[in-house]
Chains A and B, each alone.
Chain A
Amino acid sequence: MKNEMIRLENVSKIYTLGEIQVKALDNINLSICEQDYVSIMGPSGSGKTTLLDVMSTMMKPTFGKIFIEKKETTKMSNTELASFRGQKIGFIFQTFNLLPKLSALENVMVPMWVNNTTRSERITNAKNILESVGLGDKLQNRPNQMSGGQKQRVAIARALALNPNIIVADEPTGNLDSKSGKIVMDILNDLNKKDGKTLIIVTHDQSIGEKAKRKIVIKDGQILNGNTKVCQL
């Protein structure tokens, strides 16, 4: 049995829109083990992105506790959380969110800059990671000089900059053609299989969802299936 990476205990997220309260997550209990490959699927508005945001510490739940590598993140201050997030979790977004005025190399250097890595180390690391995703020849290209697939590979490289154990990806192929999408998914699969990263993907795409080791379906803020797994505590 694998060690537990992420645990959600009775987690609810309630949005207040004027006088209406919307329960985006409804009392969720979930355990994700290390080296897991989890896909989160569900119809629009089901709460899958909220689940990812809450799990990845980007958003605090209204109720409940979240543990990452046995540390309770719901107790941390914003500053602690920011640094914890930077080191433990790599983010991949549907819209890439690269800094538009920075080169590929500089974009990958950003998390290391945030983490106070020395400049020479930043350059060496960023180069190596970009080479590993097949962009060794695009170091100086800016986002607007790259295709969608290349941008997403830069984003993956950036997510790997601090060598986190967890990679979360929100619709990573949503803005890509099928060929680029396949390249990106191959890299992500390898990260799980070869490097042992815990991979959590939110997706609409059935074929991507099916490839995950574990499929979680969410509807109306509740997990419908795939919630039985127990990891070693």
Chain B
Amino acid sequence: MIYDLFNEAIKNLSRSGIKTYLTLLGIIIGIAAIVSLVSIGSGLGMAVEQQLDQLGGKTIFVIPGGFQNIRIKLNETDISNFESIRNVESVVPVYSTSAILEFNGEKINVSVNATDSGDKTLFENTGFFNVKEGRDFTRNESGSILLGSEIAENYFEKKIEIKKLVKINGKDFRVIGILKPLPQSFGGGPDPGNTVLMSLDAFKRISTNLNPTIIFINATDKESVPQVVDDIKDYSDKKYGDKSVNVLSSDNLLETINSLLDMITMFILSLAGISLIVGGIGIMNAMITSVLERTKEIGTLKALGASNNKILTLILIESALIGLIGGIIGILLGFGLAEVIAIIGTQSGFALIAVKSYEIIFGALAFSMIIGMVSGFYPASRAANLDPVEALRYE
């Protein structure tokens, strides 16, 4: 019987022509918008999570607060104090400055990052830096640099090849390797595609600023991360004042990024939600018109023995079907759209993934069907409660 009702509902819809297609369009647009947003949104979340996963969850970032000259200056004492905190495995300070890179007579401002080469393995383990071509530097190499692929390939008229000599702040350096760009940079991490990386010894040749801009601290294990974070906070709050130094674990970072992502997603979803409400009103309007047009038919059906329930179900199935069909097309369109956004995003340097999960599919299908049924309920009950004699006389 349900099959029959479905069959009949599909026939009625396919006979109703342009009105149904326009109504469908409303739902399709709403669902496509929501699906593409959720798909890209969860892709973004996943990408961030994956990157932070590379850090192993044991890494804590210590970032001095303030700007440029008034930035809090952490020093050697702080670093050795961090090292002595319980459950700290290693402390890797990263030094940064901006400098002038000169090649073939062209000069360009670049950011330089440096770390003690002894600690570099750990620094690399954080996943920020990967050598794409050439080789990595070893301890005491004060004349070698690794160049971000962006800088090497795009900044200068001529591509900078490995083994070329460049000048940084007037000092000679040899390019020994090219750094692979990360799909995206996040929270405090330098962008390896756009940076010059060198050893601390090399850094000392071009800058006197030996206060780290970020310190990577590795805890011995994941479980002790909160304790280490608390101890660092206690130490720095006491020494430099409350919250003058930001201490973030990768979980904190993930939370911050995710809550930001959630906020953005919620905002856009509520916009898309409005379009779905409009779509729902469209269904209601179409079904009311359809019921009005078919008043006489409904009267006939009642004369032929159709119960109120049967008519209610028929109209409800019709409107649920509009929702469902709109949902199916909307999902396909939404995934397509997400895929296009992901491709465009990836090309412009963001690792966007279009996630296509069953949760999204079933969620969107259920959502679109419910919208169809809710919107169809009023017209359906109106049809069901028509008086058969009056309905038959309706012109």
Contact = CB atoms under 8 A, between A and B. Distances in A.
B89 interface: no
Contacts of B392: 58, 93, 97
10 contacts: A53-B389, A59-B388, A59-B389, A82-B306, A91-B303, A93-B392, A97-B296, A110-B304, A113-B4, A114-B304
A123 to B, nearest CB: 13
A91 B4 CA distance: 23
B300 A82 contact: no
Interface in A61-99: 78-79, 82-87, 91, 93, 97, 99
A119 interface: yes
Given A93-B392, A99-B297, A79 B4 contact: no
B15 A114 contact: no
Interface of A: 53, 58-59, 78-79, 82-87, 91, 93, 97, 99-101, 110-111, 113-116, 119, 158, 162
B304 A79 contact: no
A58 B303 contact: yes
B308 A79 contact: yes
Contacts of B302: 82
B346 interface: no
Contacts of B388: 58-59
Contacts of B308: 78-79, 82
B307 A82 contact: yes
B306 A86 contact: yes
B296 A79 contact: no
A114 B310 contact: yes
A86 B309 contact: no
A82 B392 CA distance: 15
B304 A111 contact: yes
B305 A114 contact: yes
A100 B302 CA distance: 16
B8 interface: yes
B131 interface: no
A85 B4 contact: no
Contacts of B8: 113
A84 to B, nearest CB: 8
A85 B301 CA distance: 11
B18 interface: no
B1 interface: yes
A83 B307 contact: yes
A110 B389 contact: no
Contacts of A119: 4
Interface string B369-395: 000000000000000000011001000
Interface in B287-305: 296-297, 299-305
Contacts of A87: 305
A43 B16 CA distance: 40
Given A53-B389, A58-B388, A99-B297, A79 B305 contact: no
B141 to A, nearest CB: 83
B305 A86 contact: yes
Given A78-B307, A79-B309, A116 B300 contact: no
A99 B306 CA distance: 14
A83 B303 CA distance: 10
Contacts of A86: 304-306
A143 to B, nearest CB: 12
B156 to A, nearest CB: 72
Chain A CB within 10 A, most for which of B1, B8, B304, B389: B304
Nearest to A50: B389
Contacts of A101: 15
A77 to B, nearest CB: 9
A116 B303 CA distance: 16
Contact of A116 (B1, B297, B389): B1
Given A83-B305, A97-B303, A113-B8, 12 more contacts: A53-B389, A59-B388, A59-B389, A79-B309, A82-B308, A82-B310, A84-B305, A87-B305, A100-B297, A110-B304, A116-B1, A116-B4
Contact of B305 (A53, A59, A99, A111): A111
Contacts of A79: 307-309
B7 to A, nearest CB: 8
Contacts of A91: 303-304
Contacts of B301: 110, 114
Nearest to A116: B1
Interface string B154-180: 000000000000000000000000000
